[in-house]
Amino acid sequence: MGSKSRNPPASHPPLRFATAMLYSRKAKNSVPENKMQTASMQWIGEEKFVATSPSGHAITIDSDRTSNKAPGPMELVLMALGACTATDVVSILKKKRQKLEALEVVCSGERASKPPTVWTKLEILYRLRGSLDEAAVKHAIDLSEKKYCSVSAMLQKTATLTWRHEILPRTD
């Protein structure tokens, strides 16, 4: 996906640039939260880009929803929401010594009809499996929603978020 290199159309001369690394290789994998972070986008033709994260990971983004060769920017925001809150819930349940076997987070949303077409309504469904205490699950989700999930905090500026969960039977 993101590691494949493609050249922009011939009508666009290639960019020549050098990247300066101002931190050690070890520090590259743990970007400090209190420092300015930088992501870069390299246009590869049409409405496609290779995006490189502050930690050095690259993915392809396709803003043309007709060609749909890779996720679009707003899809990535939806995916980031799911990953952020899932990470919180897994971490909190581990600290509560809950025996989580599986977790699926499904994020659904509606966008504004006129530009900017921000997310206006988001629904998050957690499907959990394991030996789980209902109160511990609710508390973990509540902490993610109200305290820890940075993506949720940003999205709540433009969207209403609802959260619900299902605890599925254990697999033996």
Cβ(27)–Cβ(96) below 8 Å: no
Q: What tokens does 48 get?
A: 């496609």
Which has the higher per-residue pLDDT, 73 or 16?
A: 73
Q: Cα angle at 58 between 52 and 60, to 5 degrees?
A: 100
Confidence label for 101 from pLDDT (cuts 50, 70 and 90): very high
State residue 4's pLDDT score: 43
Burial 96-115 (b: 16+ CB within 10 A, else e): eebebeeeebebebebeeee
State residue 170's pLDDT score: 87
Q: Cα angle at 94 between 156 and 28, to 5 degrees?
A: 70
pLDDT tens-digit map of 27-77: 445 556 678 999 999 999 999 999 999 999 999 999 999 999 999 999 999
Q: Answer whether CATH 3.40.50.300 is correct for domain 73-168.
A: no
Q: Pairing between strand 160-168 and 119-131?
A: parallel
Cβ(83)–Cβ(91) below 8 Å: no
Cβ(59)–Cβ(72) below 8 Å: no
Which has the higher per-residue pLDDT, 35 or 79?
A: 79
10 Å CB burial of residue 37 (0-12, 13-18, 19+) is exposed
Confidence label for 172 from pLDDT (cuts 50, 70 and 90): confident
* Mean confidence (pLDDT) of the chain: 86
Please name the amino acid found at residue 109: G
State residue 32's pLDDT score: 60
DSSP 37: -
> Is residue 93 predicted with pLDDT exceeding 70?
yes
> Is residue 8 predicted with pLDDT exceeding 90?
no
State how far the Cα of 29 lies from the Cα of 56, in Å rounded to an integer: 8
**Terminal C-alpha separation, the chain:** 36
**All CATH 2.20.25.10 domain ranges in the chain, comma separated:** 1-70
pLDDT tens-digit map of 124-155: 999 999 999 999 999 999 999 999 999 999 99
**All CATH 3.30.300.20 domain ranges in the chain, comma separated:** 73-168
Distance from chain centroid for Cα 8 = 27
Number of other CB atoms surrounding residue 52 within 10 Å: 17
What proportion of the chain, given as a percentage, has pLDDT over 70? 81
Regarding the domain delimited by 1-70, which CATH topology (the fold level of the hierarchy) does it fall under? N-terminal domain of TfIIb (2.20.25)
Please name the amino acid found at residue 168: L
